[in-house]
Amino acid sequence: MAQSRKGALYLLLAAALLGGYILNLEESRGQSKEEFPAIDWIKAQEQTDVGEIEQALLARDQEEAKAQQQETAMEEPEKKPMDKQSLRKRLGSAVIVGDSVVEGFLDYEFLESDCVIAEKGLRADTAAEEIRKALDLSPTQLFLSMGLNDLEYCRGDSERFIRYYRQRISEIRGDYPELPIYINGILPMLPEAVEKKAELGQADAFNEALRQMCEELEITFIDSGDLLEGKEDWYQKDAIHLKSQFYPLWLNRMEETAGL
């Protein structure tokens, strides 16, 4: 190692000497040797102890390695455990209210009924009872996930959907004005589902209406559609409901958004 570094150093010195010589060839005539800084620097380095050079090079390498590690840590956040026990613990005292898609948390046993209130066919206009059950659990955060069934019930009318949703939010804030509320967007469906029920094709319009409502009411909107991009095999046969792979990622998105 010492011989290799010493050789590299001498090559560097030789290159510097050659460069200085070429650049100053015409100007050097009649000048004294003191006017050649490259030569002076080389002579100074010849007097430097090889051990000192080795230490300087080692220190430089260590600094570069440390900087690289810090940069990597910033680019790749620490991955959190995604097993069922960890997910339940991380959710804490938060509660999720939703439709049959949310039921997947219970069906796949990622979460238990003390933090998930889900009902097949749940809509914004019928969710008052389920929300009341959730509030009775004294949640520290409340996540709502509705809209799938509203697409068909409201016949694609996003304004009607938002009126119902606003009523539910008003009821929550009337009793718990300080409770943090998070609104999940309607998850994307595969094209074959839309072919069977055209109203499902209004999901984007409903989500945009939800975004605007959340901005007006100062509520956080959670868009998790990107988690399903290129994941057609994560859908069940109906091209609407989802398999187990999606749920840890979805819960992690909610957790990160709420800072749990």
In CATH, what number is assigned to the domain containing residue 104?
A: 3.40.50.1110
- Number of domains the chain is built from: 2
Domain span including residue 71: 2-75
106 plus 59 within the same structural domain? no
State the pLDDT confidence band at 259, using cuts at 50, 70 and 90.
confident
State the pLDDT confidence band at 80, using cuts at 50, 70 and 90.
low
State the pLDDT confidence band at 205, using cuts at 50, 70 and 90.
very high
11 plus 130 within the same structural domain? no
91 plus 66 within the same structural domain? no
* Two tokens, residue 216: 């007006």
Say whether pLDDT at 219 is over 90. yes
Contact 242, 235 (CB under 8 A): yes
Q: Which one of 56, 75, 94 terminates a domain?
A: 75
Residues 38-48: what's their mean pLDDT? 58
9 plus 108 within the same structural domain? no
44 plus 142 within the same structural domain? no
Q: Which one of 75, 102, 132 terminates a domain?
A: 75
pLDDT at 44: 61
Say whether pLDDT at 175 is over 70. yes
State the pLDDT confidence band at 9, using cuts at 50, 70 and 90.
very low
- Cα distance between residue 19 and residue 79, in whole Å: 50
193 plus 231 within the same structural domain? yes
171 plus 230 within the same structural domain? yes
pLDDT at 74: 43
136 plus 192 within the same structural domain? yes
246 CB contacts (<8 Å, ≥6 apart)?
104, 227, 228, 231, 234
Burial (Cβ within 10 Å: 0-12, 13-18, ≥19) of residue 106? middle
25 plus 91 within the same structural domain? no
